[in-house]
Amino acid sequence: MRLSRKNRTVRSDMIETPQINRRDQRREAILKIAQGVFLEEGFAAASMSTIASRLGGSKGTLYNYFKSKDELFAAYVQDACAKVQEETFDHRLDDADPVEVVLQRVGESLLGHIYSEWATDTFRLIIAEAKRSPELARIFYSAGPTAGRDRLAAYFARAAARGALAIDDGHRAAEQFIGLCRGDRHFRLVLNLEPKPSEAEIAADVSAAVKMFMAAYGPVDR
């Protein structure tokens, strides 16, 4: 029986979709393995050969997805940062909740991510490679700190518009809030001077940051 043109089109779509999904899944697998290699060996010592070996394929297969180690590392950084932005900001900046509640949960989520072992080790790698490859540092800063600041600034603008905050410069306020949350602890953690803080310590740090922030930017008539 001959298939109509319409039926042939449907069958073609059904064939193409799994192929696309398989490529996406393969890319995700590469990024996961690459993360392990980069964090274990450092950027300089990590090799495409090692990543391909752990992947269970050839370097040729790996190069079909990423043309260089720099490109692979950049993709890993962008992918990791995008997940942090989604989990920290996209699902927690609810305009219906009080500002203090929103800032507390956003701050705790953000610190939980940046204090994690993989984030701390990745940050160290970025710093180590920044002089050799400023572009990698730029990619990280754009996908990580800048993206988070922009999301928070947009939330502050909405809060200011409804009178919940008194803020003129949302981007500066976002930088200040994140800085208050991190304090000096992140610097000490990156330098390996102290262990990752507990959830209770993180909550206390954020609570103090929220109080200071609201004292500066809370509504005038409250």
Say which DSSP state 221 is in. Answer: T
For residue 186, the model assigns a pLDDT of 96
* Rounded Cα distance, 118 and 116, in Å: 6
For residue 158, the model assigns a pLDDT of 96
For residue 92, the model assigns a pLDDT of 79
For residue 222, the model assigns a pLDDT of 55
For residue 6, the model assigns a pLDDT of 46
Q: Show the domains of the chain with their CATH numbers.
A: 1-67 (1.10.10.60), 77-222 (1.10.357.10)
Nearest in space to 105 (alpha carbons), one of 215, 194, 199: 199
CA dihedral 207→211→217→222, nearest 10 degrees, is 120
Sequential pLDDT tens for the chain (222 residues) = 444 444 444 444 444 445 558 888 888 899 999 999 998 888 888 999 999 999 887 788 899 999 999 999 999 999 989 888 888 887 778 899 999 999 999 999 999 999 999 899 999 999 998 998 899 899 999 999 999 999 999 999 999 999 999 999 999 999 999 999 999 999 999 999 999 999 999 999 999 999 999 999 999 765
For residue 11, the model assigns a pLDDT of 41
* Rounded Cα distance, 199 and 178, in Å: 17
For residue 101, the model assigns a pLDDT of 96
Q: Name residue, tokens 């890993």.
A: 76
Q: Please give the model's pTM, rounded to 2 decimal places.
A: 0.81
Residue 177 has which token pair?
């809030």
